[in-house]
Amino acid sequence: MPDTQALVNDFLNKLKKRKIEGSQATARQTAELLRSVISQQRVPYTNQAGALIDAVKAIGEQLIAANPVELAVGNIVRRVLHIIREEDLSLTTAAIGGLNLSAVSDDENDDDRDGDSTLSAAAVAAAARSTLRPPSLQTLLEDTPVSAAVPQTSSSGGDSEGKTADKSSRSRKLKHDVIEAVNELIQDIVTCHEQIAEQAVEHIHQNEVILTLGSSRTVLEFLFAAKEKKRSFRVFVAEGAPRYQGHLLAKELVARGLQTTLITDSAVFAMISRVNMVIVGAHAVMANGGVIAPVGMNLVALAAQKHAVPFVVLAGSHKLCPLYPHNPEVLLNELRSPSELLDFGEFSDCMDFGSGSGSPLLHVVNPAFDYVPPKLVSLFITDAGGHNPSYMYRLIADYYSADDLVVQRRATAGN
Amino acid sequence: MSMSAYYQTRAAHHGVVTSDWLAQSQEAATRAVVTGGQEIVDGGKSGRAFSVIDEFNNWRKQPDLAEAVAAIRALAAVIRNSEAKTMMELEIELKKASDSLKSWDTTSISLTAGCDLFMRYVTRTSALEYEDFNSARSRLIERAEKFGEISYKARKIIAMLSQDFIFDGCTILVHGFSRVVMEVLKMAAQNKKLFRVLCTEGRPDRSGLRLANELAKLDVPVKLLIDSAVAYTMDEVDMVFVGADGVVESGGIINMMGTYQIALVAHSMNKPVYVAAESYKFARLYPLDQKDMGPALRPIDFGVPIPSKVEVETSARDYTPPQYLTLLFTDLGVLTPSVVSDELIQLYL
């Protein structure tokens, strides 16, 4: 346990000081940290899943508070919680299935009782499965307390059958299954670029002109994949002030043999009429299909809409956030240092707090992110395929549980 | 002229009592006494079907009870009074009762949706575990009675979900008197949020006056507008909040007359329109234009006599297409309009 605490503190420090760049790196490190937490966590015999969920929630709360703007942290925490619930559920249904088989092989005079218990156990499992999914019209009239009966049925059934050895192997199996699933998640995060790039050849056609802003590794791989498949196209790169990462992207594209044109952000409106498609990356995708992207993206999206140019956003599934944005320009934004815009040496008299009276007259605002509303986005390309913004809720229902939207450790007032 | 019973009841809830409503209610009361006696004597099928409607009307009169809850309670009464010995027979009886309820008031969408939802639940439950008919029957009755709690909890969930969207210093435009929206605003006031409400008058029901009253009691700053002043004040509005009589398959809503107008103005000025509706209001309708729904008429009192050759548009509701709505707050979560058809497909197909 002291091991993991040190790891957690180290990671928290890095998050607070913004030492980790990029959502993919953040997501991968979060997943690895949670994997070590789970493997170190001791679980009691009953309600192992509850103990794991509590442990992950406790750490998750701290991680999210350390950097609330980096949504990938919260996304991964919720994915892991969903994994724990799913694995627990599949183990429970398997165990009940096992009980059914053993009951059938018992004496005939117990048949009636066992018949009832098997029927109700199957119904209980079905109800438990439905509680894992988000609430729907189908389950509106169902009874919710049935889910509480699930662990009791399995544990009482286990006692009466005398299968204590079975239960200890079940507890080990839960941790093992969860860690396997988290490993798969890490694999997905690391290989998301390849899976998105595979779809490149369907979207980029011969002699097209593509516009992008700033530098995104996903976009880079996407364009390379299309080039591999012998499509010839041109790329306009908007430089993405004030960090000018578009310069780096242009250099890499040229190194691979793609015809590139570098333009300033202000020239986007002037050049957009010559462009066939806009392809950009994202920092995060919200549940309504809105996009948190590097600053300047809203400008490009508006220009694209005005000239009826498709606006395509590439995003790995770790960027998909189940929360709805309210006031994202302020709450989901970060202000960076003014030194990226102005040189302190030249402007030291305007920005100096010491000279004159009170605060300086020159303020510098350097936001890191922009919010693009869903109606400006034509298509999302994720590692699960291409979808339009109104479809995002489906992916969220697949990846996240409704109980985890607010990651808070509930005060344990008796289970 | 025919009057929509649904909107009559809503007018009754809002305390705007018209003289012809009083006359109708008195007539209905005397009729119920008479048929009550007849039912004991007859005990025949026609007597029972009639009592479903009466039962429903009794429940519906309570101002805090949702339409769908009243419908499901009435159907629960049918189950209780039924003499069926098999599930199949019970289902057929329920189907007959539900059909008669629906045909008695064709204009109420949540009534239709509530009946359909309960019928689907019955068909699914009967296919599940219970081999004993009596235990299945008692379970159905129990779930139906509990539905009232579900509906009440639904309003609480919706209020909780919408709290994040109301920020300090915002101005909310509200149209019509929806109990769900009232719950949302009440919870926001209790959470000490600072916000201001602009309330449309809502002719001819004048439900806005009642809403303004309730909000003033909660110490929320309220401003009343006439319906035509919506575009004039839309500049200072941050968001529009409405309830819904029904949510249709396309994700659009059917609500009190004037909602479409407000949504159009809000959309043209880039203001978000939020709808608060419980999930049992999702209905399998797909109106293509305003006249595509069954007419729900409500007489309008202009205060002066109108010459007989002048026509009056008396429809009580309109349809707002989904492209003008931003988000729907339901007890199933915060949904975009495109999710509605998904939910309906999962239930019905």
Q: Using a CB-CB distance cutoff of 8 angstroms, which residues of chain A are in contact with residue B278?
A: none
Which SS3 state, helix, strand or coil, does residue B150 take?
A: helix
Whether the CB-CB separation of B282 and B343 falls below 8 Å is answered with yes
The reported pLDDT for the residue numbered B40 is 39
The reported pLDDT for the residue numbered B22 is 58
**Distance from C-alpha of A409 to C-alpha of A88, rounded to nearest angstrom:** 19
**Distance from C-alpha of B344 to C-alpha of B316, rounded to nearest angstrom:** 26
Adjacent-strand bridge partners of A260:
A235
The reported pLDDT for the residue numbered A100 is 58
Q: Where are the beta strands (DSSP E) in B118-211?
A: 170-175, 195-200
Q: Cα distance from A387 to chain B (closest Cα, Å)?
A: 13
Question: What H or E segment, with its residue span, contains residue B169?
Answer: none
Q: Which of A342, A304, A90 is nearest to A213 (CA)?
A: A304
CB distance B342–A391 less than 8 Å?
Answer: no
Q: Is the pLDDT of residue B274 over 90?
A: yes
Q: Is the pLDDT of residue A234 over 50?
A: yes
Q: Which residue has the tokens 């169902």?
A: A142
What is the average pLDDT score of chain A?
81
The reported pLDDT for the residue numbered A320 is 93
Sheet holding A369-372, edge to edge: A284-285, A291-294, A369-372
Q: Can you spell out the DSSP letters for B289-345?
A: SGGGSPP-B-----SSPPPTTS----B-EEEE-GGG--EEEETTEEE-TTHHHHHHH
**Distance from C-alpha of A182 to C-alpha of A32, rounded to nearest angstrom:** 8
Confidence of residue B25 (pLDDT cuts 50, 70, 90): low
Summarize pLDDT for B235-273 with one digit per residue, the tens.
999 999 999 999 999 999 999 999 999 999 999 999 999
Mean pLDDT on B161-173: 92
Mean pLDDT on A196-203: 93
Percent of chain A with pLDDT over 90: 42
The reported pLDDT for the residue numbered A154 is 40
Query: Looking at per-residue confidence, does A348 or A258 come out higher?
Result: A258
- At residue A95, φ and ψ (nearest 5 deg) are -65, -40
Instruction: Write the secondary structure of chain A as one string of H (helix), E (strand) and C (coil).
Output: CHHHHHHHHHHHHHHHCCCCCCHHHHHHHHHHHHHHHHHHCCCCCCCHHHHHHHHHHHHHHHHHHHCCCCHHHHHHHHHHHHHHHHHHHHHHHHHHHHHHHHHHCCCHHHHHHHHHHHHHHHHHHHHHHHHHCCCCHHHCCCCHHHHHHHHHHHHHHHHHHCCHHHHHHHHHHHHHHHHHHHHHHHHHHHCHHHHHHCCHHHHCCCCCEEEEECCCHHHHHHHHHHHHCCCCCEEEEECCCCCCHHHHHHHHHHHCCCEEEEECHHHHHHHHHHCCEEEEECCEECCCCCEEEECCHHHHHHHHHHCCCCEEEECCHHHECCCCCCCHHHHCCCECCHHHCCCHHHHHHHHCCCCCCCCCCCCCCCECEEEECHHHCCEEEECCEEECHHHHHHHHHHHCCHHHCCCCCCCCCCC
CB distance B343–A137 less than 8 Å?
Answer: yes
CB distance A136–B338 less than 8 Å?
Answer: no
Q: Using a CB-CB distance cutoff of 8 angstroms, which residues of chain B are in contact with residue A402?
A: 333
Q: Which of A109-123, A281-295, B62-76 has the highest mean pLDDT?
A: A281-295
Q: Which of B121, B336, B342 sits opposite A141 (nearest CB)?
A: B121
How many degrees, rounded to 5, is the angle at CA A286 between CA B324 and CA B182?
50
The reported pLDDT for the residue numbered A194 is 92
What is the average pLDDT score of chain B?
83
The reported pLDDT for the residue numbered B46 is 43
Minimum Cα–Cα distance from B124: chain A residue: A138
**Distance from C-alpha of A36 to C-alpha of B193, rounded to nearest angstrom:** 41
The reported pLDDT for the residue numbered A266 is 94
Q: How many CA atoms lie within 13 A of B278 on its CB side?
A: 29
Confidence of residue A356 (pLDDT cuts 50, 70, 90): low
The reported pLDDT for the residue numbered B152 is 80
Summarize pLDDT for B54-107 with one digit per residue, the tens.
888 877 777 777 788 888 888 888 888 888 888 888 888 888 888 988 888 888
Minimum Cα–Cα distance from B278: chain A residue: A137
pTM, rounded to two decimals: 0.78
The total number of residues written for chain A in this structure: 415
Q: Which of B146, B282, B339 sits opposite A393 (nearest CB)?
A: B339
* Cα-trace Rg, chain B: 21
Sheet holding B317-320, edge to edge: B246-247, B253-256, B317-320
Mean pLDDT on B165-173: 93
The reported pLDDT for the residue numbered A109 is 42
The CB density around residue B315, as the number of other CB atoms within 10 Å, is 15
Q: Can you spell out the DSSP letters for B190-250?
A: HTT--EEEEEE--TTTTHHHHHHHHHHHTT--EEEE-GGGHHHHGGG-SEEEE--SEE-TT
Give the A-side interface with B, CB within 8 Å: 119-120, 122-123, 134-138, 140-143, 287-289, 324, 326-327, 390-391, 393-394, 402
Q: How many CA atoms lie within 13 A of A108 on its CB side?
A: 0
Query: Looking at per-residue confidence, does B4 or A334 come out higher?
Result: A334
Least confident of A222-226, A285-289, B130-134, B176-180: B130-134
Pairing of strands A209-213, A277-281: parallel
Mean pLDDT on B297-314: 87
Question: What H or E segment, with its residue span, contains residue B254?
Answer: strand B253-256
Summarize pLDDT for A131-170 with one digit per residue, the tens.
555 667 767 776 654 333 334 334 443 344 444 455 566 6
Q: Tell me the C-alpha to C-alpha distance, in Å, between residue B170 and each of A260, A328, B226, B239.
A: 46, 15, 21, 8
Which SS3 state, helix, strand or coil, does residue B274 take?
A: strand
**Distance from C-alpha of A245 to C-alpha of A389, rounded to nearest angstrom:** 27
Whether the CB-CB separation of A144 and A127 falls below 8 Å is answered with no
Buried b (16+ CB within 10 A) or exposed e, A357-392: eeebeeebebebbbbbbbebbbbbbbbbeeeebbbb
- At residue B85, φ and ψ (nearest 5 deg) are -110, -10
Q: Which of B319, B220, B333 is nearest to B277 (CA)?
A: B333
CB distance A137–B118 less than 8 Å?
Answer: no
Question: Environment class of residue A147 by beta-carbon count within 10 Å: exposed (0-12), middle (13-18) or buried (19+)?
Answer: middle
Our measurement of the distance from residue B151's CA atom to the centroid of its chain's CA atoms, rounded to an integer in Å, reads 11
Q: Using a CB-CB distance cutoff of 8 angstroms, which residues of chain B are in contact with residue A394?
A: 342
Question: Environment class of residue B161 by beta-carbon count within 10 Å: exposed (0-12), middle (13-18) or buried (19+)?
Answer: buried
Which pair of structure tokens corresponds to residue B14? 């809002």
Which of B72, B73, B110, B121 to mutate to probe the A interface, most A CBs <10 Å? B121
Percent of chain B with pLDDT over 90: 34
Q: Cα distance from A139 to chain B (closest Cα, Å)?
A: 9
Summarize pLDDT for A237-263 with one digit per residue, the tens.
999 989 999 999 999 999 999 999 999
Percent of chain A with pLDDT over 70: 79
The reported pLDDT for the residue numbered B14 is 61
Whether the CB-CB separation of A266 and A299 falls below 8 Å is answered with no
Which SS3 state, helix, strand or coil, does residue B90 take?
A: helix
The reported pLDDT for the residue numbered B148 is 73
Task: Write the Ramachandran bin of B301: left for phi over 0, alpha for psi from -120 to 50, otherwise beta.
Answer: beta
Q: Tell me the C-alpha to C-alpha distance, in Å, between residue A72 and each of A67, A134, A410, B123.
A: 10, 21, 23, 43
Our measurement of the distance from residue A163's CA atom to the centroid of its chain's CA atoms, rounded to an integer in Å, reads 39
Q: Tell me the C-alpha to C-alpha distance, in Å, between residue A174 and each of A57, A84, A171, A331, B136.
A: 17, 8, 5, 38, 36
Q: Using a CB-CB distance cutoff of 8 angstroms, which residues of chain B are in contact with residue A120?
A: 129
The reported pLDDT for the residue numbered B288 is 92
How many degrees, rounded to 5, is the angle at CA A179 between CA A174 and CA A185?
130
* Cis peptide preceding B204, ω within 30 of 0: yes
Mean pLDDT on B108-126: 81
Summarize pLDDT for B187-232 with one digit per residue, the tens.
999 999 999 999 999 888 888 999 999 999 999 999 999 999 999 9
Q: Using a CB-CB distance cutoff of 8 angstroms, which residues of chain B are in contact with residue A122?
A: 129
* Cis peptide preceding A338, ω within 30 of 0: no
Confidence of residue A374 (pLDDT cuts 50, 70, 90): very high
Q: Is the pLDDT of residue B159 over 90?
A: yes
Q: Which of A371-380, B99-108, B143-152, B202-211 has the highest mean pLDDT?
A: A371-380
Whether the CB-CB separation of B99 and B113 falls below 8 Å is answered with no
Which pair of structure tokens corresponds to residue B36? 């009550």
The reported pLDDT for the residue numbered A117 is 47
Buried b (16+ CB within 10 A) or exposed e, B65-93: bbbbbbbbbbbbbbbeebeeeebeebeeb
Give the B-side interface with A, CB within 8 Å: 117-118, 120-121, 124, 128-129, 131, 143, 146-147, 150, 164-165, 167, 279-280, 282, 327, 331-339, 342-344, 346-347
Minimum Cα–Cα distance from B339: chain A residue: A393
